[in-house]
Amino acid sequence: MKYDDLTIQKLRELSILEVAEKLGFNLKGLGDEGRRALCPYHDDQHPSLHFSKKKGIFKCFVCGAKGDLFKLVMDDRNCTFPEACEWLINEFHVVVVTNTIATPHSQGENLSDKTDKKTSVKSVSSVVPLDPTLVSRSLSVDSVFCQSAVSAGYLSQSQLRHAANRYCLGTTKDGGVIFWQIDDLQRVHSGKVMYYQPDCHRSKGHHPTWVHCLIKDQLPPDFTFQPCLFGLHLLSKTIATPHSQGENLSDRTNKKESVKSVSSVVKNPSVVCIVESEKSAVILSEKFPDFVWLSCGGLQSFKPELLAPLVNHKIVVFPDTDETGEAYKQWLAVLQQAQRQYAFKYPLRISNLLEQHASFEQKSRKIDIVDFLFEVTQKLA
């Protein structure tokens, strides 16, 4: 298969350190910028093959062998350049746009002309936000979701409080949890009200609703709901948090206090991970804290425009699974469409973990990544 310049550029932006590890090189040395390994191009007794993450190249200071990640794959696997590209795409789950007709980011501008630019797509400026005190007044860890996340064994009490504080989780009077959608400009779009059972699974007797639907008489006259990714506020330069330092979430549920801005706790995140459910994002944020976990809120809610604020971030999506693989196909289609619309700085990736490792019984339950990992852990315990 012949790959276009955009795809090759996306592959070139992969980390040569990750590629080397995937090929089986035993990397030595401290730090992420430079590593070394035994050189396969000569009889090497001491690691003399050096890898530069910043430059994306390798070089042996003994025999002189050098090249980029494509040459590394071609030499190691004894394959052609197109075959090396195919291997990289499959191993790193890079989303490839197979047609050559791109939807330009601005009229008359070709998408391939933008790959070297640090394109920044800002949130839609026409958003009319809700009153942020709605968030601060709702704060609590007394929802059934929060309580069951601990009692069912997903999180410890301290992990739950930390995650609830980070995501500004709220509670309704009847025990529902409020997953507030706050964007990267700290604007409150709305809040999804959901109900959970004691086993931390959704209550089928309660359909989700939205805060803006419950307070219609309090909405600004020009309010129009525009969804954003749950947790998007974590990628802002400042994070809106209604809590003062050292104050317990549950102590503030009855206080009418504005949301304050504090220094962001997210410093140049390495990877932004997107899952389907808010529950998964909250739990995984504690299990894998090196990543930033966001949620689209449901299969049908995953749209290309939700990814617009993330063009400068590394993105990996984790679809739920099913018997036919339909969910995976739908997520892949959305990523392909998004890649045509926006000039992402890094390759978009989609995880096939559940497609490869979930059992048929698990797929029939449409299991998500959190419950898959939870069930694996339970079996090993």
Best CATH choice for the domain 5-92 from the list 3.90.580.10, 2.60.120.10, 3.20.20.70, 3.90.1150.10 = 3.90.580.10
Per DSSP, 133 falls in state H
- The Cα–Cα gap between 125 and 169 comes to 25
120 and 151 in contact (C-beta within 8 Å)?
Answer: no
Q: How many CB atoms lie within 10 A of CB 13?
A: 16
Task: Report the length, in residues, of the chain.
Answer: 381
User: According to CATH, what is the number of the domain 105-122+268-381?
Assistant: 3.40.1360
Strands 315-318 and 348-350: parallel
Phi-psi region of 311 (alpha: psi -120 to 50; beta: other; left: phi over 0): alpha
For 178-206, letters b (16+ CB in 10 Å) and e give bbbbbbbbbbbbbbbbbbbeeebeeeeee
Which regions of the chain carry the CATH code 3.90.580.10?
Answer: 5-92
Strands 57-60 and 49-52: antiparallel
CATH 3.40.1360 domain range(s) in the chain: 105-122+268-381
**pLDDT (tens digit, 0 to 9) for every residue of the chain, 381 residues total?**
567 776 787 788 889 999 999 999 999 886 666 899 999 999 998 899 999 988 899 999 999 999 999 999 999 999 999 899 989 988 888 887 654 333 333 333 333 344 333 344 444 457 889 999 999 999 999 999 999 999 999 999 999 999 999 999 999 999 999 999 999 999 999 999 999 999 999 998 889 999 999 999 989 888 999 999 999 999 985 444 443 333 444 344 333 333 333 333 444 556 899 999 999 999 999 999 999 999 999 999 999 999 999 999 999 999 999 999 999 999 999 999 998 899 898 889 999 999 999 999 999 999 999 999 999 988 886
Question: What pLDDT digit, counting tens, does each position of 347-357 carry?
Answer: 899 999 999 99
Contact (Cβ atoms closer than 8 angstroms) between residue 282 and residue 294: no
Is the CB of residue 52 less than 8 Å from the CB of residue 58?
A: yes
DSSP strands (E only) in the chain: 34-37, 49-52, 57-60, 66-68, 170-171, 177-182, 188-194, 209-210, 238-241, 260-263, 272-275, 292-295, 315-318, 348-350
pTM over 0.85: no
Report the C-alpha gap between 326 and 320 in whole angstroms: 10
